Amino acid sequence: MTRNPSEPHPSPSSARSTNDRPPLRPRIARLVSALAGVGLAFGLAASAVPPAQALSAVSHGVGYASAPDGRWLGSYRMDDGRLGFCIDVGLAAPPGHAYSPVDDAGASPEDRARLAYISRRWAGSADPDTAAAGQLATWSITGLGAHDLAWYAARAGDHAGAVESRARDMLAETAARASRSVSASATVAL
């Protein structure tokens, strides 16, 4: 095939037809589909997490019973088998006492973050000094009533000094590491 010299020579930009570009509608449909997929993934991930439930303490866990009066300093065994700390120093120790959930309106977000850190980090400990110190650190945040840390640490008997020192170390670590500002990001590439 030969070119007719009287016809204009096609320029590179005019050689491409307007139909070579993908139509706008399929690109929008792909974007909407991708966003819907991401939304569905986030929705499924959120629904996979069970709602929080209050647990009951059923027995003493790991720690010390005071020799003079048997008062407990340490963790408590929950009805699901895990260990946790008491947040109200004035309540009688389980088992055999009925409790109702209470609103934590008095706790600041920072206090809740510190309490969560203490529970995650030390409630499951099998070491009596660590469990007793974790309980002291918890009460230091929620309130020690009319007594000081040393008074409650005395429940650990000969271990009182080590338990009180460990509780103070826990509080320092908690102040530095507890966080309520966790964030995440996601990137979608089309």
Structural tokens at position 58:
């059923």
Question: Are 139 and 114 in a shared domain?
Answer: yes
Question: Are 135 and 156 in a shared domain?
Answer: yes
pLDDT > 90: percent of the chain: 42
**110 or 37: which carries more pLDDT confidence?**
110
Instruction: Give the distance from CA 137 to its chain's centroid.
Output: 18
Q: How many helices (H) and strands (E) does the chain have?
A: 6, 3
- Alpha helices, DSSP H, located in 102-179: 109-122, 128-142, 149-153, 160-177
Amino acid 170 reads M
Q: What pLDDT does residue 59 have? A: 87
- Residues 29-68 pLDDT 10s: 777 777 777 777 777 766 666 665 667 778 899 999 998 8
Question: Are 62 and 40 in a shared domain?
Answer: no
Domain ranges, residue 122: 57-177
Q: Give dist(CA 27, CA 138) in Å, integer.
A: 55
Question: Are 145 and 100 in a shared domain?
Answer: yes
Instruction: Give the distance from CA 18 to its chain's centroid.
Output: 54
Question: Are 77 and 140 in a shared domain?
Answer: yes
Question: Are 26 and 108 in a shared domain?
Answer: no
Mean pLDDT of 88-100: 70
- Residues 68-92 pLDDT 10s: 888 999 999 988 889 999 888 887 7
Q: Give dist(CA 183, CA 174) in Å, integer.
A: 19
Task: Report the predicted TM-score, pTM, of the whole model to 2 decimal places.
Answer: 0.66
Q: What pLDDT does residue 7 have? A: 60
- Residues 7-19 pLDDT 10s: 665 555 555 555 6
**183 or 38: which carries more pLDDT confidence?**
38
Q: In total, how many domains does the chain have?
A: 2
Question: Are 115 and 172 in a shared domain?
Answer: yes
Name the nearest CA neighbour of 130 among 86, 74, 174, 168: 74
Structural tokens at position 83:
């260990």
Contact (CB, 8 A) for 100 and 134: no
